[in-house]
Chain A
Amino acid sequence: MALELTFAVQNRDFKAAGDGVSELKRVLQEVGFSPGFIRRVAIAAFEAEMNIVIHAYRGRLQVRIEPHQIVLLAEDEGPGIPDVALAMQEGYSTAPPEIREMGFGAGMGLPNIQRCADKLEIRSEVGRGTFLRAKFIYPDPKN
């Protein structure tokens, strides 16, 4: 039994950012996952969504929900990440100044996803785009 949800994400669409995560959160609450687990998934999904909004041209979030795990896929067409290890460091950011002025792009996105997920995989190709896969195990091993 698996349920798949897909959300399209557009570059610079700050107004809609978070809508998909709100819907995801509601679905997870109705399915009955624990509040702490839902929060971890929601934070990671929001950061992944924001990464696309800030850096990519377009992309999508796909969430596969199963009783024992949730897999979050974030795929985008965009500039890609030249050095993934560097991007994983807290505070490292390539967000342009106008984005930083809006309070985003503080270089915490990927580290936050790393912190929330039980397993994280990132593949990126410069000039093409980025593929992110985060896995969350249930019941929650962190609580």
Chain B
Amino acid sequence: MGYFHSVHLEQEKCKGCTNCIKHCPTEAIRVRKGKAQIIEERCIDCGECIRICPNHAKIALGDELEKIREFPHRMALPAPSFYSQFTAPGGIAQILGALIRVGFDAVFEVALAAEVVSWATRRFLENYQGPRPLISAACPTVVSLIQVRFPALVGQVAPIEPPVNVAARLARAEAVQVTGLPPEKIGVFFLSPCPAKITALRRANAAGENLVDGIIPILFIFRDCREALKGARKIIPRAGPGGVWWGRSGGESAALGRGKLLEVDGVQNVIKVLEAVEREELQDFDYLEAQACPGGCVGGALMVKNPFGARQNLMFLTRDLAGKSLTEEELAGLAQKGAWRSTRELKPRPILQLSEDISSALVKMQQLESTARLLPGLDCGACGSPNCRALAEDIVRGQALDTDCIFLLRERVRVLAEEVVALARKLPPSMAGPERSNRD
């Protein structure tokens, strides 16, 4: 089965260096023939390679702003983190207004849906009897990471839709009501902070539910929006501070506001926490908010501003919203209309297996272990695999050779060179001088 991904490589820009392979948390990249290659089944769309690439050869596939013109009525769905990229005296109201100036007809705040999801999560936790902590399903990279590296935890992921999915349903329904147009005439566009959300939405579309009609990376429309800020008409936001907090790490927990909550950000930190969850060390916690990007969505790979500045800016912008909140009834109504409960069963993605059956996989594992012992353990990456163990794995899988290791190759050349020298010293008896016997 193929997996769609939004992280791609621009061949011309890639210089074949090994920065990305060493930073990939699922060891999903190899350098082959001087170019990086992404192993699609292993990629979790975290965007680490986009961040680390010194040549900016990793890009995310997303839609351009022009695409909205294909639709008679265009809805913008800004992620809560979107606001963090702008400084506007008129606050979030002015930033929403800028979206109208760049060509949208209406805005539906994902922050509003985030409040709805927080409400639904509170309700769900009240009756939840399963293993703790319940893990947030909001960050699609974390969900993919669990499927790939922590398959035992798939059942612990909250069966709750991420805010953007709820927002997309609510936005289309509202637009249909307001305009009288059929649903397919409404263009619903998500403004995404990260490649993972692009991938997740495209997969949802491929699975049959047309949630959004396009996904525009925030960095694609940043300049247009910044220019449109001047003279933008204010649109009063509907979401309160709780929904906007979701744009940074800790925001989801703050919005939940109840129970013993655990929060982690940055993909390597998330891995450490998930390992501890798997060992049942963190059962005291009710809920785990885990975000792959440093600082949360404000640190997304498709953002423009420095994540730390953006985080503070987002906090500053939410001050205007103080005291704003939806009533229980409003939240319940939106939750129901937005179909908050996830109906898709989350399945493990067992991509690491060496072989289909355990006996032959064990044979390969023995080869892998003995191959790994021969390698120098420097994890230099010059072979194109991220570390010595990964090279051993690639060799066993038939995708690499032991001579791909420059140290093993060097050793073989040395042995060969010594043999050549030894042979060169041998002379036929007819030519041999008196010193021949000494040399041998």
Contacts and interface: CB of A to CB of B under 8 A. Distances in A.
Nearest to B275: A22
A32 B353 contact: yes
Contacts of A3: 362, 365-366, 369
Interface size bracket, A side: 20 to 34
A23 to B, nearest CB: 9
A33 B358 contact: yes
Nearest to B280: A43
Nearest to B151: A35
Interface string B405-419: 000000000000000
A31 B280 contact: no
B358 A67 contact: yes
Interface residues of B, number: 26
A32 B348 contact: no
B177 interface: no
Nearest to B150: A35
B279 A43 contact: yes
A129 B368 CA distance: 33
B366 A29 contact: no
B354 interface: yes
Interface string A25-50: 11101111101101100110010000
Contact of B352 (A21, A26, A39, A43): A26
B358 to A, nearest CB: 4
A1 interface: yes
A65 interface: yes
Contacts of A29: 149, 151, 350, 352-353
Given A1-B362, A39-B152, A65-B362, A31 B353 contact: yes
B154 to A, nearest CB: 8
A39 B279 CA distance: 8
A30 B278 contact: no
B355 interface: yes
A18 to B, nearest CB: 7
Nearest to A68: B358
B327 interface: no
Contacts of B149: 29
Contacts of B279: 18, 21, 42-43, 46
B352 A30 contact: yes
Contacts of B357: 32
A39 B278 contact: yes
Interface in B334-388: 348, 350, 352-359, 361-363, 365-366, 368-369
Given A30-B365, A31-B361, 12 more contacts: A1-B362, A3-B366, A18-B275, A30-B353, A30-B361, A31-B354, A32-B354, A35-B154, A35-B350, A39-B152, A43-B279, A65-B365
Interface of B: 149, 151-152, 154, 275, 278-280, 348, 350, 352-359, 361-363, 365-366, 368-369, 393
20 contacts: A1-B359, A1-B363, A2-B362, A3-B366, A5-B369, A21-B279, A27-B365, A30-B352, A30-B365, A31-B358, A32-B353, A32-B357, A32-B358, A35-B151, A35-B154, A35-B348, A38-B152, A43-B279, A46-B279, A138-B358
